[in-house]
């Protein structure tokens, strides 16, 4: 049963200290909400966010960002709302993150929307999530074809074990995928959005193995041609998404839940946040990206042989001992030593 939030006391009935605190918190929240709803304020916030994203674009950025969107039910419970409201709020956060990634020019953004394990949840919740996916598919298809929308030109894919979902939903997915498919000319420029539904990494790996064995058995594929690359290519995550550079999981759980097991690579970063997914903010996401960009730049400098300390040493040496000011004489310019 959902835990109800504490009832906010009305002004003339406030006697206790915690009632005053509860009342003030409520007022503060209402004021923030009111301010954020003002068109001028939201315009300014968007402007500031775009500016911050522009700064970030100057440095290296991940090719593939993925989200484990966890904490929807706890979010709904904390507000005394039905679980569906938590998933709906989660869908809004997903859309916000897709916008941010698109603005940044991230090639692939993916999200874990439904694990195969989630079929064990109450039927009502499974139906809600399935209905939500169908609704979001329609919404995203419209956005991807609307020139005025930020998601315009994005290509949309649902990855996972499609044999586990209904025929109607499968047809809808195929339709949206076809409508938003990338053509060869635009392939390099297009942003790819992947929704994993119903998905688990081990199921993906199992399918890739199974299909490869079938190809060897019935389609003349040689065993020598089986490689890490060929198995990677056989997975649901294909080109531009088969390596995950940044994986973000919300809600405080520090586990992978059978996700991105194959695609998390040697330089991939995994970030855990204690924020519940519907409350995940632009700022938190931005700081994760700044950290990723900083460490990636550092790593690239190191692997390219660049040494910040060496550069600094050279700089100081140049400044202190430049030619004409007692610069050190190279060994070959010294006179020969006296003959003994």
Six token digits for residue 84: 């569906």
**Which pair of tokens denotes residue 228?**
């890490």
Residues 63-102, one symbol each (x = binds Mg ion by CB under 5 A, - = not), give -------x--------------------------------
Q: Is there binding between residue 245 and Mg ion (CB under 5 A)?
A: no
- Minimum distance from residue 158 beta carbon to Mg ion (Å): 20
The 179-198 site mask, x for binding ligand FPP (CB under 6 A), equals ----------------x-x-
Comparing CB distances to ligand FPP, the nearer of 65 and 195 is 195
Give the side-chain half-sphere CA count within 13 A for 333.
4
Stretch that binds ligand FPP, among 84-92, 153-161, 239-247, 289-297 (CB under 6 A): 84-92
Stretch that binds ligand FPP, among 37-45, 87-95, 97-105, 284-292 (CB under 6 A): 87-95
Q: Three-state SS for 192?
A: strand
The total of other beta-carbon atoms located within 10 Å of residue 244's CB is 23
Options 53, 65, 69, 84; binder of ligand FPP; rule CB under 6 A:
69
Left, alpha or beta for 119 (phi > 0: left; psi -120 to 50: alpha)?
Answer: alpha
Could you tell me if 246 and 65 are in contact, meaning their C-beta atoms sit under 8 angstroms apart? yes
Residues ≥6 apart with Cβ < 8 Å to 110: 64, 65, 66, 67, 159, 193, 194, 195, 196, 237, 241, 244
How many CB atoms are closer than 10 A to CB 12? 6
Residues in 112-141 at the binding interface with ligand FPP, rule: CB under 6 A? 113-114, 118, 129, 132-133, 136
Question: Do 183 and 193 form a contact (C-beta atoms < 8 A)?
Answer: no
Two structure tokens written together for 115: 């694990």
Q: Taking CB under 6 A as the criterion, which residues in 210-249 touch ligand FPP? A: none
Binding site for Mg ion (CB under 5 A): 70
Binding site for ligand FPP (CB under 6 A): 69-74, 87, 90-91, 94, 113-114, 118, 129, 132-133, 136, 195, 197, 251, 277
């Amino acid at each position: 049963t959902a835990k109800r939030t504490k009832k906010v006391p009305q002004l003339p009935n406030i006697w206790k200290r915690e009632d005053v605190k509860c009342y003030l918190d409520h007022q503060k929240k209402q004021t923030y909400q009111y301010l954020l709803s003002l068109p001028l304020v939201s315009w300014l916030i968007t402007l500031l966010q775009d500016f911050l994203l522009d700064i970030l674009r100057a440095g290296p950025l991940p090719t593939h960002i993925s989200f484990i969107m966890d904490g929807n039910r706890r979010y709904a419970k904390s507000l005394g709302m039905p679980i569906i409201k938590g998933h709906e709020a989660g869908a809004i956060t997903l859309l916000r993150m897709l916008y941010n990634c698109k603005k940044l020019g991230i090639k692939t953004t993916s999200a874990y929307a439904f694990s195969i394990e989630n079929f064990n949840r109450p039927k009502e919740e499974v139906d809600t999530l399935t209905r939500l996916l169908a609704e979001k598919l329609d919404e995203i298809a419209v956005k991807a074809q609307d020139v005025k929308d930020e998601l315009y030109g994005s290509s949309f894919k649902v990855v996972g074990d499609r044999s586990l979902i209904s025929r109607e939903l499968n047809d809808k997915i195929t339709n949206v995928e076809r409508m938003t498919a990338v053509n060869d000319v635009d392939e390099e420029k297009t942003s790819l959005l992947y929704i994993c539904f119903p998905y688990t990494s081990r199921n993906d790996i199992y399918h890739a193995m199974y299909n490869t064995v079938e190809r060897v058995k019935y389609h003349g594929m040689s065993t020598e041609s089986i490689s890490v690359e060929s198995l990677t290519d056989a997975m649901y995550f294909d080109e531009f998404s088969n390596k995950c550079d940044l994986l973000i999981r919300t809600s405080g759980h520090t586990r992978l839940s059978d996700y991105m097991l194959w695609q998390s690579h040697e330089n991939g970063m995994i970030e855990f946040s204690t924020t519940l997914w519907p409350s995940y903010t632009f700022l938190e996401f931005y700081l994760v990206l700044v950290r990723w960009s900083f460490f990636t730049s550092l790593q690239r400098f190191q692997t390219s042989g660049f040494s910040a300390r060496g550069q600094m040493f050279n700089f100081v040496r140049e400044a202190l001992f430049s030619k004409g000011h007692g610069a050190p004489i190279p060994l070959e310019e010294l006179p020969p030593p006296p003959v003994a």
